Every structure is written in structure tokens, then in C-alpha cells.
Chains A and B, each alone.
Chain A
């Protein structure tokens, strides 16, 4: 337990559902990013998976839409401490996108239109735990939330769910991305409260 601040009681919290430590619930959908929102038209949009040997698999917008679609309903947790429960998305599972990719890589560096990057173990993108999402709440994903398409990896802090996703580079070695280079945790598990380096 921390040092008690006299007179602080906090919000009534009897009915609070189980949240990762340090998180609070919000009905809103906050927007956090480091710069202006990129506007990425879907014609000309592409998603590229680059294997460690340089082999590329590419999908146009139409090709992405033609793949099997899923509608995950998931809880999301932002490192700035808000959590949002039961969010519903539409997108393509990374299992589908990685199915034809021949790789022994252990890491993935995700990159976005606008230059953002984030890293995670490749295993965290598999087994039905990650999507390229293009719909939210039954509508096309809004640009400020990462539209036309973002990564969705709900079991990690939300900065790993790169907005305006453009591709994934598969790597033998881990390489930190944008926030990871700025001192945020390399992995970012909300249940273990991995916010900053060393947590």
C-alpha cells in the first residue's frame, strides 16, 4: 500500500468490475496520439507483411475486405489509465494474414502511416488475439481512432494497437518502437501494470 493522502477517499467503487490495476472505467472513447491525425484514403491503402528474409505479402483495401471477417468484442486498456469494456470491432484476424507467411521470426515491428511504430512478440499476434480492425461499433473506423485500419491487440496496453496501420516487419530480434524508445515498457501487459521501462 502507498502513503495515505489524508482526506482522500476516491470514488464509490462497490460495483466496479474487475479491471487491471490502476485503471478506471470510461464510457468515452479517448483519443491519444503524438501528432496530427493522418487521413489515409482507402484507394492506395495497403497492408504489407515483410518476413525476416525480405519476402513481402501485400493486401489492397479490396483484398482485405475480401478476407474472412471477424467481429471481436473485447475490453481495452490504455496506459493513461482508462479502460473500456465490451468494445465491438470488425476486422481480419492476424492468423488469417499470417497464414501464408513462412517465418521463424520471434518479434514483430508494426508500422503506421504517419511514421508511428510499436513492437511486440510475434506470438502475441497469433491464436485469435489480434486483428487488423477497420470497423468500430458497426461503422467504419474513424480517422482519429486509427481509421481506415488499426491493429487491435486488446490483451496489451492500447499503444500496441497501432493506429493507421500500414505493415508489420517480422524480426529475429526485438526492436523497440516509438513509445518504447521514449521509456514505455517493452511488452505492456496491463494486468502486470507494465507501463514504463523497469515495471
Chain B
């Protein structure tokens, strides 16, 4: 298994910012060069550690947003107001500056490109990040595994990777993307803004008898709700994998 089980201690490596892409008004993708990066599976994450001039350190986890590209990794960071680490990464951290990263971590919330079962991805907010890594890995491997993404966002401007997802639903055969808007829906969208519910998962997910793998990622409350709904729809718990980003529900 990749990740920390790959053997040996997980060392901190110095990573430098090589590129920054603005995804939404509050989310940015950081491309880091990490010499010696061992590679990873979609769904895994890294720990990022910051050190202040007085030696104080803070570390947080961030999902890997794309398959590795040599020694480059991509993270997408959502700025949390009053946060300690995310505002630094989105507002202060500059090209060429160092941070330390350790990983890849996590061998459970992963998708392997040779798995044949259909895949249901359910994302809330920045929870789309590890799921996008799966979508990108699927494309990179030329996989035809049927994928469906149900993506809950506040409003159209909060959708991370919106352009790429539009392109991929056109070009990547067997990938469907459906949005749920919680505050403001775009012109022409059918329905009212609402929190994700049974009907969304029924309409845009897979029925349990197709035996899909379900990956749910987002804030804790979102993940709790969606995982319970999927189990209620008849998906066996062992086929529902979850990653909870947030502090509480």
C-alpha cells in the first residue's frame, strides 16, 4: 500500500511554491516542488508544516489534488476566516518560499485505477479536492470506470475546478457531474437552493445493486448526512468511504 505503510519513517521534506492558481474568490491551488517525492494514490493527503521565525510550528492536513507530476504536487486550499494556516497559504506564501510537507498519508480513502466498480463521488465545498484527484487519475489512466460526482456548493462562484469539470464531462467518457446549490443557484438551474438530500443522491448517484464505491468528502456535518443517506438507500457501509475535513458538524 502506498502511504505511510510504504515503509520507513515519513520524513518532512522541504517544498517550494512554483505556481499558484486562483480557483474561486476563497480557494487557490498551490503547485509545490518536492524533491524526492515518492508518488501517491488519489485520495491521499499530506501534512503541511509551517515554522515561524521564533521556532513555533503549526501543521495541517491537505489532500493531494492531482496525481503526482514528477516531484510536483498540487494542493487546493480553501481560506478559512480566522484560520492559522490556510490564510497564510492563500495570502502570504510566495513563489519560491519553503514549507515542509510529509506524506503521502492515508491508505483507506483512496481509489485505484484498476478497480472496476462504478464510483460515486459526493463532495461538499473543498471536499471536492481528493475526489478531483480521482477524476484526474481516471483520465490519466485512460480508465472507463463510470464516475458520477455530486458536488454541493453555496453558489456557482464557490465551485472549485468548475471549468475543468465542464470540460471533462464533455471529453471524459463516462463522467457525470451534478451540482447541488445551498444558497444561490445559477440561472436556468432547475429547483431551489437546498441542502443535499435523498432525492439528489437518488437522482444523481448509482443504485446500490450496481455495487458502486462511494467516496464522501467535506465538512463533518455534510459527510455525516450524506453517509447516513447512502446507507439508508441501501449501500453497504463497507462501500461508503468518508473523509471529514471540518472541525464539527
Contact = CB atoms under 8 A, between A and B. Distances in A.
A194 to B, nearest CB: 11
B60 interface: yes
Interface majority SS (helix, strand, loop, mixed), chain B: mixed
A63 B244 CA distance: 35
B227 A35 contact: yes
A33 B244 contact: yes
B50 interface: yes
Contacts of B99: 3, 5
B231 to A, nearest CB: 5
Contacts of B244: 30-33
A139 interface: no
A87 interface: no
B225 to A, nearest CB: 10
Say which size band chain A's interface belongs to: 35 or more
B4 A5 contact: no
A13 interface: yes
B109 to A, nearest CB: 7
B199 interface: no
Given A11-B84, A182-B5, A196-B4, A5 B98 contact: yes
Say which size band chain B's interface belongs to: 35 or more
B51 A5 contact: yes
Interface in A1-29: 1-11, 13, 22, 24, 26, 28-29
Contacts of B227: 35-37
A140 interface: no
A80 interface: yes
Contact of A80 (B5, B51, B61, B249): B61
B65 to A, nearest CB: 19
A115 B108 CA distance: 14
Given A3-B14, A198-B8, A198-B9, A30 B50 contact: no
Contacts, number: 136
B56 interface: yes
Contact of A197 (B9, B92, B248): B9
Nearest to B57: A2
B247 A10 contact: no
A183 interface: yes
Contacts of B237: 35-36, 38, 114-115
A173 interface: no
B58 A24 contact: yes
B241 interface: yes
B30 interface: no
Contacts of B4: 182-184, 196-198
A195 to B, nearest CB: 8
Contacts of B98: 3-5
B210 interface: no
Given A8-B88, A24-B58, A182-B3, A196 B52 contact: no
A125 B59 CA distance: 30
B84 A24 contact: yes
B5 A4 contact: no
A31 B51 contact: no
B11 to A, nearest CB: 9
6 contacts: A10-B58, A34-B241, A34-B242, A35-B227, A144-B224, A197-B5
Interface of B: 1, 3-10, 12, 14, 49-53, 55-61, 84, 88, 92-94, 97-100, 105-109, 220, 224, 227-228, 230-231, 237-238, 240-242, 244, 246-249
Interface of A: 1-11, 13, 22, 24, 26, 28-38, 80-82, 114-115, 144, 178, 181-184, 196-199
